[in-house]
Amino acid sequence: MSLPINYLEFNNPIHIVWRKGTPNDPFIDRLDIARVVNQRIFLLEIPDEMFKVRIAGMFEINYEAFIKHNLDKNEFYVDYTNGFVYVHESKEAETLSIIYKGRGLILYPSSRIIHYDGTTATESLHEIIEKSKSQVQELIDRTDTYEEYLKRLVIAINNSNIATDQALIATQQAKDATELVKDAYETTVLIYQPFVNTYNDIAKKFPYPEVGWTTQVFDTGIRYRWNGKDWIPIDALGGNIPLASELLNGLMSKEHYMKLKGITEFVNEKTIVFIIPKDILEGVQDPHVVFDYEGEIVEVKASVTSKGAQPTPVKIQKSANFTDWLDITDNPIMIGENHYLDDNTHALTERKVKKGDIFRLTIPSFSVDAQNLSVNIKIVLNDSLNLH
């Protein structure tokens, strides 16, 4: 069904590109390093609210707490609808590292981006672009009119060779001026199009481009502009700035580079946490935990919040079939009497973890009187181990 012209004027929606969050189309891990401007940070993608947004040394608060009081220095609030992170005013101009899972992008049309003059909205970006195009066209029209006047002058002084030559020269200059104006327009106008993932995707997504169409390649950061014949690279995120290292500033500072290396190692660690609230009973404890990754156990720790008059022994067991169970330490993890933490006298005997391994706790003693047991099993994933 064809649509009337006046309807098409309003057919200018915001484009939203979502991932499904399924194994075939998962949310991707994102690490944005951005500067705080006006107490907020604009994330490159919309974050997943289930995974949350994570900033080292800071805590996220919910909407109710955000509207009731001002943010503290170590607090932040996340607008999961639009991808904004709000922080305390003391963080202004600081650069923060933000970890989250990206759900996708929201692409705004130029007609929905408004320019403010400090008090009220004045023009949309679309209006500014159209006005610029109109002014350039007006300049072209005036140049064409000037060329017509010169042609009439050539006819009027046809009997004078000198005057004729001068008129011809002036005419050529007018033509050159016209071509320069047109060339300036065709070589400078940028009509932004949605980004593509790779350079080869440009021709697929824009098979019939117009002069000035501009798109950015996601994997390299390079922007390309169609000049009427070819896609020409015009700039790149970072340009000729070298990559950063431990000793050299580059696209980021060397301090941020070292911090990023630490973050990468941290992200590739996972911890299984068992919590036995209140009284600790003898025997196998619930729940059982199925671990979905391959890796290596690097540390186990146990603690209680209420000390016992008797030692508290804890066995950590691993199985591949819920039937055959194997202790992962040479001796039970022991929390001594009148102590909160284990005495670290155990040694790991089973470090390798396969995808699908099951973990459980067993209390071998019936005289445990401590309360609120917590056991942490830190596992470094195989991908992280391969980096070292």
Answer whether 382's CB lies under 8 Å from 295's CB. Answer: yes
Q: Which of 8-17, 142-151, 199-208 has the highest mean pLDDT?
A: 199-208
Band of pLDDT at residue 266, cut at 50, 70 and 90? low
Question: Residue 374 and residue 306: Cα distance in Å, rounded?
Answer: 11
For the chain, percent of residues with pLDDT exceeding 70 = 77
Name which of 134-143, 234-243, 375-384 the model is least confident about: 234-243
Element (H, E) at 385: helix 382-386
Residue with tokens 């209390």: 363
DSSP secondary structure letters along 135-203? HHHHHHHHHHHHHHHHHHHHHHTTT-HHHHHHHHHHHHHHHHHHHHHHHHHHHH--EE---BSSTHHHH
Is 6 a residue whose pLDDT tops 50?
Answer: no
Is 373 a residue whose pLDDT tops 70?
Answer: yes
Q: Residues 6 or more apart from 179 whose CB is under 8 A from it?
A: none
Question: Residue 373 and residue 371: Cα distance in Å, rounded?
Answer: 6
Element (H, E) at 66: helix 63-68
Band of pLDDT at residue 1, cut at 50, 70 and 90? very low
pLDDT tens, 10-47?
Answer: 456 666 788 988 999 999 999 999 999 999 999 999 99
Answer whether 361's CB lies under 8 Å from 248's CB. Answer: no
Mean pLDDT of 270-283: 88
Supply the pLDDT for residue 277. 85
* Cα first-last separation, the chain: 61
